[in-house]
Structure 1
Amino acid sequence: MKKQYDVIIVGAGASGIGLGILLKAMHCEFCILEKERIGASFFNWPDDMRFITPSFPCQGFGQTDLNAVAPKTSPAYTLNVEHPSGVDYAEYLELLHRHFNLPVMTGIEVKTVNKLENGGFTIETSSGTLQSSFVIWAAGQFHYPNLQPFPGAELGIHSSLVDSWDAIQGDDLMIIGGFESGMNAAYQLCKRGKQVTVIAKTSTWEMEESDPSRSLSPYTFSLIENLPEPELLHLVGHAQVTGIKWSSEKYQIMTEGGAHFSTRYRPIIATGFTGSTQLIQHLFSYGEHGEPLVDAYDESIKTPGLFLAGPELRHDDHIFCFIYKFRQRYPIIAEAIGEALNLDMSIIEEYRKQNFYLDDLSSCGERCQC
């Protein structure tokens, strides 16, 4: 294994593979480090979890599959499914790895990243120390759930830690959190004939937002709307959970308004993720909502040369948690690195033509008119 690279990418998920394809086309000297296997987070999805963004092969008509991480590729074409499972999508990423012959090193755990005085980085790994001029942090979110959103949360089970909804015991269940994870969990459990109460700070099922990062996606909304037995689902909105405790042989769930709920079964926590930047938080500054702060090139404002890619990316009020959003920032990162290293950047124009390039964020907040 080499010890010195121009760029080291941490994580071989959607962003790691997507950026790797772009950097290879630019003839960059780089490697991708992955502590498990390619697409590891997707392998850990619950069995019934599916992409909420649809995949559709329409490249010939000037559009790219919403779940593709590189132009002229399509999970729908490769997998022949519209809403891939986690295992499906990992297969797509592995195919890209082989097709583009990407330098991915699996079984390499990154222990820490440190900035050098000369401007480069040292990356301490389970297989030794590496150095690079730039680091792209693409380790994602799913492996890093928010396990302590409120006191007593350890009494519940985070939705990302559920292997299969068939394994959930009980017939009267409580879910805390009303965004995609929580509502998908509610659907899966109601489909299995269980009584489910969703307790949520935000009533996502009532919101009218064109941005699916702020309200339920049409896919999830349609699942909830078409439950075979809708009476099994009880939705409680505008309820901020403040804690869980075990009392009178039941889990007691308290809320800010004084209301409380009880259940004999472990509550399901669907309150999101802290994100992988917590592993190198000394290299980031954070905003008021805990978001890593980056500049216009997705470069850490605290540590020049360190770039953030993937669902943890934020720009002011703009949320990049879907693949079709954060993939448009790959060439922005690649351009910044390419200019510094004097690389061949002719591929960037192809990314522009394929709608894989978003540098003007002023239109991101525009709502649909109808």
Structure 2
Amino acid sequence: MAIYDLVIVGAGPAGLAAAIAAKRTGLKFRILEKGALVNSIFRFPSQMVFLTTPDLLEIGDLPFVTPHGKPTRDETLRYYRRVVEAFDLEIDYGVTVTEIKTGAADEPFSIDTEHEHEGQVIFLAQTVIVASGCYDHPNQLSIPGEELPHVSHYFTESHEFFQKHVVIVGGKNSAAEAALELYRSGASVTLVHRRAELGSSIKYWVKPDIENRIKEGSIKAYFETNVIEIRPHKMVIEQDGERKTISADGVFLLTGYLADLDFLKRCGIVVRSNNVPEHDAESFETNVPGLYLAGAVVAGANRGEVFIENGRFHGQVVVGHIVKQLGNQVVTA
């Protein structure tokens, strides 16, 4: 069985940046991705516009130019497809990593995977970078009805909710943007938020829009309110100790996402009490020698700390550290 210098888990911006650095330094590497290329961005709302400018999403020194000041989701997907083609990166899609096992001293990592077509497949590598992001793991409310078919933790399209009652739970940017798009697509929108006001991180052009729609009554909002139960076409909420049932043909629980901490623990990575995985702040190496983190997964549950803009630099740092550690053990790619 082939032994790689490096296996990269995840083909998001951080994983791609690591792959580019690995290719430039001559490492023999493999990229494993369970979904689509830059899967988190692919699952963003179809009409999404990034808050940042395109140059802050660039990797591998490949320019990202858009006709407007801020890139759309589709433009960003197109850019990362171009990155893969420009650097001739080979990605294994449909591969879910279930566990990363360490062997005895000087033995490679055993990366256990589930391939969508081939079943269980094992990869061996001297080092591993986990760049799996966090968008696949939404914060659960753990309430009755959360598993119902009309409930989702992801908003993508508004058309199917024309003339329907939709409830959005959350008060940050994703909730605000979804509420506005649904409202403008003819849905009756209700926003439920456990805090007293909307989040301060909402995009500067979105916040006054959502605030004005709430003020004029176009979008109904319940603040300092908790969701008690979700039923078919209904939701039970509680505000000031009083419970109320509201209409809900569709429900979007946009309450944030976090890294798959259980997976990290299975790999032997220590997760601190603040739900941040143990890692060296300079090299991003975890407490497991040779096992690294890159991108949003570095922040664990602290989603506001790592974005594409800063996570895209992790890969080059990690690969530089790997090359130093492997020394003359590097396999020629």
Q: TM-score, normalised by structure 1?
A: 0.74
Distance 1:222 1:22 in 2: 42
Deviation at 1:102, TM superposition (A): 1.9
Distance 2:227 2:276 in 1: 22
Deviation at 1:31, TM superposition (A): 1.4
CA contact (8 A) 2:132 2:297 kept: no
SS of 1:293's equivalent in the other structure is coil
Distance 2:216 2:296 in 1: 32
Distance 1:285 1:188 in 2: 41
Q: Which is strand-richer, 1 or 2?
A: 2
Deviations 1:168-195 (A, max 9, x none): 2654432111112211111111222434
Q: In structure 2, do the counterparts of structure 1 residues 89 and 316 end up closer, same or farther at CA, with 3 Å as the change threshold?
A: closer
Equivalent in 90, 93, 98 of residue 85 of structure 2: 98
Amino acid at match of 1:139: S
What is residue 22 of structure 1 aligned with on the other side?
21
Amino acid at match of 1:6: D
Q: Residue 250 in 1 paired to residue 234 in 2?
A: yes
What is residue 138 of structure 1 aligned with on the other side?
131
Deviation at 1:242, TM superposition (A): 5.2
Q: In structure 2, do the counterparts of structure 1 residues 110 and 326 end up closer, same or farther at CA, with 3 Å as the change threshold?
A: same
* RMSD of aligned alpha carbons: 3.1
Amino acid at match of 1:258: G
Q: Residue 306 in 1 paired to residue 291 in 2?
A: yes
Q: What is the aligned-residue identity percentage?
A: 24
Bigger relative CO (Cα 8 Å, ≥ 6 apart)? 2
SS of 1:311's equivalent in the other structure is helix
Equivalent in 151, 162, 166 of residue 159 of structure 2: 166
How many residues align? The count is: 318
Amino acid at match of 1:35: K
Equivalent in 88, 110, 119 of residue 97 of structure 2: 110
Unaligned runs of 5+ in 2: 329-333
Amino acid at match of 2:137: Y
What is residue 122 of structure 2 aligned with on the other side?
129
What is residue 12 of structure 2 aligned with on the other side?
13
SS of 1:181's equivalent in the other structure is helix
Deviation at 1:222, TM superposition (A): 5.2
Equivalent in 162, 168, 172 of residue 179 of structure 1: 172
SS of 1:264's equivalent in the other structure is strand
Unaligned runs of 5+ in 1: 56-64, 208-214, 344-370
Deviation at 1:326, TM superposition (A): 1.5
Equivalent in 215, 220, 223 of residue 234 of structure 1: 220
Distance 1:197 1:308 in 2: 38
What is residue 60 of structure 1 aligned with on the other side?
none
Q: Residue 269 in 1 paired to residue 246 in 2?
A: no
CA contact (8 A) 2:57 2:308 kept: yes
Equivalent in 181, 193, 196 of residue 188 of structure 1: 181
Amino acid at match of 2:133: G
Q: TM-score, normalised by structure 2?
A: 0.82
